[in-house]
Chains A and B, each alone.
Chain A
Amino acid sequence: MKKNLIIALATFFVGSSAIAQIDRTEAPKPQPNPEIKINIPDVVTSENGLKVIVVENHKLPVVSFQLFVDYPTLPEVDKAGKADIFGQLLASGTTESTKDELDAKIDYMGASVATTSRGFFASSLKKHTPKLLSILSEMITKPSFPQDEFDRVVKQSISALEQAKSSPDAMASNVAGVVNYGADHPYGEITTEESLGNLTVDDIKKHYKENFIPNMAYLVIVGDVTQAEAKEYVATYFSGWNKGTAPAAKTFDVPTSEGNNVYFVDKPGAVQSRITITHNMDLKPGHEDVIKLRVLNQVLGGGSFSARLMSNLREDKAYTYGCYSQISPDKLVGDFTAGGNFRNEVTDSAIVQIIMEINKISESGVTDKELELVKNSMTGAFARSLERPETMARFALNTVRYNLPKDYYATYLKDLEKITKAELLDVAKKYLRPDNLNIIVVGNEEVASTLEQFDNKGGMELKDSQGKEKIKLKSVAEGVTAESVVKSFLYKSFSVDNKADYDKIMKKVGYVIKSYSAPLEAIGGDIYMTSYSGKPNMTASVLRMNAGGQKATVQKEYFNGNSGGTFMMGAGTTKYEADELQKKKDGAFLFSQANYFTTDFYDIDLMGIDEVEGEEYYKMKVNRKGEEDFGYEYYSVKTGWLVMEENFGTDDEGNSVGGTIKYEDFKEIKKGIMFPHKMSINNQGQLIEFTLNEVKIKKKPKSEPFVGQF
């Protein structure tokens, strides 16, 4: 209530001492500015060419070592992932020690060692430093790359790829790599199961031999260490690392495109769209524009709450938890990227706003107030970063690696202060391409239709999780309909080609019993399923298991045309009622497909031709009217067989349930009647492979099984 009053009264609130009352209405003024100390260490080159950077910090008795081998980035072609595998294997054994021995030694000291494709980061208490160094030295000069470790690491990497398939960030990053740089550029190469499969241990050994040389390497030592000690460490532990011939660097073209291009990756069940708006940028580290672009990006979408993207899309519109942008300089090619995660409904609105912000800053630059705020916040961030001794080491490394002026970091704050609004507008115009953006969306297929509008050519491209083009469904040939596909399948099952012959056989068949079995590792035994179909709509099945001589009936289902129910081991019997009962009554004999077009219980949609591993399939959506659950049926274009069903539904608690059934091995039973003899059910990751052992076909159904007596 009293915002404008200056309070000068002394008062007694709590306690007994009088405290001069402060003015809460105004932010307090800062004290005099503190001094920022920058002490960038020299780089010392050893005899074998290894460049050493030492930053002393005696606060904690801890010393860390970082090795960075600056070999050129080259394409891995059909062996994408090679350098990563190499990095993982660097700690996997030497000619003197097994991986187990190395691991034991490192852990015994409580030390940490992480290797990468370009070296390692290692840290320990100072008292263990010599022991740690002797291990590190052994790792980099005598790696053995054992075959079994190689096999294991490749296998694990393949599993990890599988895991990445459900991560929206990994998917978006794959697509961004491909569209920004091209699939042949080192940054556009995507590691796949196939590319990892092409790798051999010899590839890894060759990679090590050609690239891992001291004359291209930097060793950064930080912590409780003196210059003299550091010198001794290098002499003792790294002088035996022999010089090599530096591999030649290469340059690469990046693709050019026109207009804005949209790429969509389907992530089933996604509740948010991961939006990435990006383009490549020719910007090398150390270029004079880098610092200006950093300021520009800070205004647009740097990490603060005041940045335009955050303030517009989060604080004003509440579309997202966070929306950011980055401009990254790079020796080969840099990039600009903006985006975040947005709920499905606002996907298109979010894209509109992000593009608007990119446009706006390219056309009119930044305001005085924004520039002032960002300069202050970047100055503070620079000062704060000096708390970590690693920062000083990084400054030294960058200075030598990118050939920066010696005083680049010492004058950083002065250079920052000098930047003007006009300069920012210039670099915005020069580097940002608001009319030539790659717009990548990873999300639910329901948002896809809203995205076409952002593509200048009107046709967005569908991508898979690895950035490869996803083939859209092809249209079916003229005259092919859902009904003709289903008919052809039904006829084929009886080896006939017309309705009259089909009906003729159908008349003779009134009762079919199929017996299946499948091994089930989880129970250490087998399961047996027998299914019964009886005219006109009777169905029954019984599922039994036999594990180590223990036999049990797991599940029963039965329906005699009027009533029926299910029995589950442990849950007892449940009678069919209401909808469930009606569904059973509506059922068809032997093939549910027989009812697709002769009744109006179903919505059947022939979606088109899908291609899976080179084979073409008619994809058909099947939905029982009034139900949310649905399924896809895949009929081979070549043979006409129904080869796969995918089911999607939800249980009573709203959890997704469903699974896939694959049919194979179509063989004749008798008199032209053909059934698949292999049926693989994939139920939420649980795979059961049934073999059809026996089929009995009779004219008249028996009644027992359909009342639950097997």
Chain B
Amino acid sequence: MKLKNWLIAGTILCSISASAQDSRKIDFVEYDLPNGLHVILHEDHSTPIAAVTILYHVGSKNENVGRTGFAHFFEHLMFEGTTNIERHTYDKYVEGAGGTLNANTSQDRTFYYELLPSNQLELGLWLESERLLHAKVEDIGIETQREVVKEEKRQRMDNQPYGSLMYEVFRRAYKEHPYQWVPIGSMEDLDAAQEEDYVNFYRTFYVPHNATLTIAGDIDIEQTKKWIDQYYGTIPNGDRLDLYRDLEFLSLEQFQEKYGDELKGMATSKDFMGDWHNEMPTEDFIKKYFSKVSNEQHEVPRPTIKEGLLQAEIRDTVYDNIQLPAIIMAYRTPELKHEDHYAVEMLSMLLSQGNSSRFNKNIVEKQEKALAAFAFPFGLEDPGIALSLAIANMGVDLKDLEAALDAEVENTQTELISDEEFEKLRNMAESDFISSNSTMAGIAESLANYHVYNGSTDLINTELEKYMAVTKEDIKRVANKYFIKSNRVVLYYLPKEQNN
């Protein structure tokens, strides 16, 4: 295909002088396909682009001990190819179409996206349907990506100052819950992965009812729905999907062994062997030999442990290749869906959003104890943590810095914040809310997140109300409930050795 035919309108467009409203609404339609795939569509014609995204509800918290890092590793492998897409061509399809693609993996989910010119929407739908239906993982890809992921870990975590921060915090902040490891996992576990791990992971988590397909941009909703029916509506689920994939990936011998009993001798019949060797379409094959196989969705396993508040403060020291000592505090906070989430967010804003925030004004500017000091809530699907992080100025004792951070938190526990400061937080929340979601990629991701984590896609339009419902008393209350010493991990980061 040729993109040189793109028309360029050099004419100056008339400016529309209408003013935007003081709120903004993002319209969307959402529905489930019969196979369980959730679909969200947002139409916006301001730029001729379309974001095609799929969120799989699987992250590092779905991993087993001994296989940490697997979800992220698997994400890398999902670019290797499919039955119909040759190895090393996923990206070429997209780039050749003038698009871009990538993916990321968190504790809770794996997110794939293509940003395409809007006339290439169908290409994006095809690419993602291939990944869901029959992604192909071969040894050469596994070995290569294993090393690539290790380099990613070295680059991001091992060789960066404070790069091990999340790892060091999470492994102490959780005893039982899989949040105790970070998505990048461990090198030993990456090495330990076996072939059956790949098969099981794909079967368990890469299924329609565990995926959310979100498309935003210059699309026609009706046409898009038709394509979605064609590419995704036809994807089976349950035993039928397992069978579909087995038909494509197992050798005849393996297949006969696995399904021999079920086929009651038919597996070695001339007819069967003939159809196999003549490469009968998978759908037809299933209809002919497995007409009764079920589409019923398999249950997706999720961690059931919920770790509540910590019982006693955990303190430790980490030595790293850094120059300036730092202190990190992590408080257990409730899950994203919890009613206290927004009050925790506003408390964090009070502590560290903007130059006038308490941490910055007092600890960085007035006391000059820290080069930088932040508080940010790390909200997760299951109970998460709120981090406070301060990098000490040269010559400042971490004990003094810790006392300064504690003093700021204690103040929020004993004193109600002033009306003016409270109004400031509300204004910040309003500004952040209205300014967010300005790109199609961002809107698609937010829509999917709200659906999966909060069970309410419309929060993209209404979440501000949740912030506005928080009171000054709520902020003080959550400070006393969560930001207490017995509910935290305190880490001192110290230089490994004094260079120079």
Residues in chain A within 8 A of chain B (CB atoms): 1-5, 7, 9, 11, 13-15, 17, 19-22, 24-39, 56, 58-62, 91, 99-100, 103-104, 106-112, 123-127, 152, 155-156, 158-160, 162-163, 165-168, 224, 226-227, 267-272, 274, 304-306, 311, 314-316, 318-322, 341-343, 372-373, 375-377, 379-381, 383-384, 386-388, 407, 410-411, 413-414, 417, 464-465, 521-522, 646, 648, 655-660, 682, 684-686
Tell me if B22 and A125 are in contact (CB < 8 A): yes
- B65 proximal to A (CB < 8 A): no
A36 to B4, CA, bound (A): 11
- Evaluate whether A60 and B84 lie within 8 angstroms (CB atoms) in the complex, with A14-B234, A125-B431 already known: no
In the bound complex, residues from chain A placing their C-beta under 8 Å from that of B440 are: 387
Q: Least Cβ distance of B34 to chain A in Å?
A: 4
Specify which chain A residues have a CB less than 8 angstroms from the CB of B97 in the assembled complex: 30, 376, 380
Contacts A13-B236, A61-B20, A685-B325; is A156 near B371 (CB within 8 Å)?
yes
Contact A58:B283 (CB < 8 A) given known A19-B229, A156-B371, A272-B151: no
The answer on a CB contact under 8 Å between B160 and A167 is: yes
- Nearest CB of chain A from residue B150's CB, rounded to whole Å: 7
Question: Is B446 among interface residues, defined by CB-CB distance under 8 A?
Answer: no
B274 contacts the other chain (Cβ, under 8 Å)?
A: no
User: B residues 1-59 with Cβ under 8 Å of A?
Assistant: 1, 3-10, 12-13, 15-24, 33-35, 46-49
A373:B95 contact, CB within 8 angstroms: yes
- How many A-B contacts if CB must be within 8 Å? 383
A306 to B393, CA, bound (A): 44
By a beta-carbon cutoff of 8 Å, the part of chain B in contact with chain A is: 1, 3-10, 12-13, 15-24, 33-35, 46-49, 79, 83-84, 88, 91-93, 95-100, 115-123, 125-127, 129-130, 133, 143-152, 154-156, 158-161, 218, 229-231, 233-237, 247-248, 276, 279-284, 287, 295, 317, 319, 321-325, 353-357, 361, 364-365, 368, 371, 391, 393-394, 397, 399, 420, 423-424, 427-432, 434-435, 438-440, 494-500
Greatest chain B CB density within 10 A among A21, A106, A123, A167 is at: A167
A227 / chain B contacts, CB cutoff of 8 Å: 15
Instruction: Please state if B321 and A34 are interface contacts (CB–CB under 8 Å).
Output: no
A-B contact pairs, 19 of them (CB 8 A): A5-B281, A14-B236, A36-B9, A61-B434, A108-B420, A125-B22, A156-B364, A159-B391, A159-B393, A269-B496, A305-B79, A318-B143, A319-B147, A321-B156, A376-B3, A377-B95, A658-B496, A660-B498, A684-B496
- Please determine whether A30 and B119 come into contact, CB atoms closer than 8 angstroms: yes
Specify which of B146, B317, B430 is in contact with A110 (CB 8 Å cutoff): B430
Choose from B6, B152, B282 the contact partner of A383 (Cβ within 8 Å).
B6
Closest residue on chain A to residue B157 by CB atoms:
A271
CB distance from B361 to the nearest CB of A (A): 7
Q: How many whole Å from A29's CB to the nearest CB in chain B?
A: 7
B393 & A156 in contact (Cβ 8 Å cutoff) = yes
Q: Verify B8–A410 contact, CB threshold 8 A.
A: yes
CA distance A659 to B276 in the complex (A): 69
Contacts of B368 in A (CB 8 A): 152, 155-156
CB–CB A168/B9 < 8 A:
no
In the complex, are the beta carbons of A14 and B154 less than 8 A apart?
no
The answer to whether B434 and A62 touch across the interface, beta carbons within 8 angstroms, is yes
In the complex, chain A residues whose CB is within 8 Å of the CB of B7: 33-36
A373/B96 in contact, CB under 8 A = yes
Contact of B428 among A37, A110, A318 (CB under 8 A): A110
Residues of A within 8 A of B152 (CB): 321
Contact A318 B397, CB 8 Å, known A163-B322, A646-B497, A660-B498: no
Contact yes or no, B394 A305, CB < 8 A: no
The residues of B that contact A59 with a CB separation of less than 8 Å are 20, 24, 46, 438
Nearest Cβ distance between residue A270 and chain B, in whole angstroms? 6
Minimum CB distance partner of B247 in chain A: A1
A162 in contact with B91 given A1-B276, A272-B151, A655-B319 (CB within 8 Å) = no
> Beyond A2-B282, A387-B47, is A34–B119 a contact (Cβ under 8 Å)?
yes
Q: Which residues of A contact B145 (CB under 8 A)?
A: 318
* B-side contacts of A35, CB under 8 Å: 6-9, 48
A523 CB → nearest B CB, Å: 9
Q: A36-B7, A319-B151, A383-B48 are in contact. Are A125 and B430 (CB under 8 A)?
A: yes
By the criterion CB–CB under 8 Å, are A163 and B279 in contact?
A: no
**Shortest distance in angstroms between A92's beta carbon and chain B's nearest beta carbon?**
10
- A657/B98 contact (C-beta < 8 A), A311-B88, A521-B397 known: no
B159 touching A272 by the CB < 8 A rule?
A: yes
> Please, which residues of chain B bring their CB within 8 A of the CB of A521?
397
Partner pick for A522 among B8, B324, B397, CB 8 A cutoff: B397
Decide if B323 touches A410 in the complex (CB within 8 Å). Answer: no
Q: In the assembled complex, which residues on chain A have CB atoms less than 8 Å from the CB atom of B149?
A: 321
Q: Tell me the nearest residue of chain A to B218, going by C-beta.
A: A34
A464 to B432, CA, bound (A): 42
Inter-chain CA distance A14–B236, complex, in Å, is 7
Inter-chain CA distance A33–B116, complex, in Å, is 12
Distance (Å) between the CB of B302 and the closest chain A CB?
24
Q: Which residues of chain B are within 8 angstroms of A414 by Cβ–Cβ distance?
A: 8
Are A341 and B355 neighbours in the complex by a CB distance under 8 Å?
no
Query: A34 and B48: CB pair below 8 A?
Result: yes
Cross-chain contact B361 with A166 (CB below 8 angstroms): no
A100 touches B283 (CB 8 A): no
Given A14-B295, A32-B119, A111-B431, A682–B99 Cβ distance below 8 Å?
Answer: no
Residues of A within 8 A of B156 (CB): 321
Report the minimum CB–CB distance from B126 to chain A (whole Å): 5
Contacts of A465 in B (CB 8 A): 500
Provide the residues of chain B in CB contact with A4, threshold 8 Å: 279
CA distance A100 to B325 in the complex (A): 27
Name the distance in Å between B404's Cβ and chain A's nearest Cβ: 15
Note all chain A residues with C-beta closer than 8 A to B323: 162-163, 165-166
Task: Contact check, B34 vs A14: say whether CB atoms are below 8 A apart.
Answer: yes
The answer to whether A28 touches B48, judged by C-beta atoms less than 8 angstroms apart, is no
- A191 vs chain B, min Cβ distance (A): 15
Closest beta carbon of chain B to A585's beta carbon, Å: 30
By the criterion CB–CB under 8 Å, are B322 and A166 in contact?
A: yes
B233 touching A15, Cβ below 8 Å:
yes
CB B446 to nearest CB in A, in angstroms, measures: 14
Looking across the interface, which residue of chain B has its beta carbon closest to that of A11? B283
A411, B148: Cα distance in complex, Å: 40
The answer on a CB contact under 8 Å between A33 and B9 is: no
Contacts of B430 on A, CB cut-off 8 Å?
Answer: 110, 125
CA distance A159 to B283 in the complex (A): 65
- Find the B residue at minimum CB distance from A416: B4
Whether B147 lies near A318 (C-beta < 8 A) is yes
Q: Does A162 contact B6, Cβ atoms closer than 8 Å?
A: no
A341 touches B154 (CB 8 A): yes
With A19-B233, A126-B22 known, 6 other A-B pairs at CB within 8 A are A1-B282, A33-B117, A268-B499, A274-B159, A384-B99, A387-B440
Instruction: Report Cα–Cα, A315/B356, bound state, in Å.
Output: 47
Q: How far is the CA of A314 from the CA of B431 in the complex (A)?
A: 41
How far apart are the CA atoms of A162 and B125 in the complex, in Å? 49
Distance in Å: Cβ of A647 to nearest Cβ of chain B: 9
Residues on the A chain within 8 Å of B295, using CB: 13-14
Contacts of A3 in B (CB 8 A): 83-84, 279
Instruction: Give the chain A neighbours of B281 by CB distance below 8 A.
Output: 2, 5, 7, 9
Q: Which residue of A lies closest to B284 (CB)?
A: A9
Q: Which residues of A contact B287 (CB under 8 A)?
A: 11
Whether A110 and B319, one on each chain, are in contact in the complex, defined by CB atoms closer than 8 angstroms, is: no
Given A14-B234, A33-B7, check contact A108 B423 (CB 8 Å).
yes
Tell me whether A33 and B91 are in contact in the complex, defined as CB-CB below 8 angstroms, given that A27-B123, A28-B123, A61-B22 are known contacts. Answer: no
Nearest B residue to A267 via CB reads: B321
In the complex, chain B residues whose CB is within 8 Å of the CB of A383: 6, 47-49, 98, 117
Task: Determine the distance from Cα of A61 to Cα of B49 in the docked complex, in whole angstroms.
Answer: 22
In the complex, the answer to whether B116 meets A380 with C-beta atoms within 8 Å is yes
**Which of A166, A274, A314 gathers most chain B CB within 10 Å?**
A166
CB-nearest residue of chain A to B90: A305
Instruction: With CB as the reference atom, state the residue of chain A lying closest to B21.
Output: A61
Is there an interface contact between B371 and A24, defined as CB atoms closer than 8 Å? no
Least CB separation from A15: chain B residue? B34
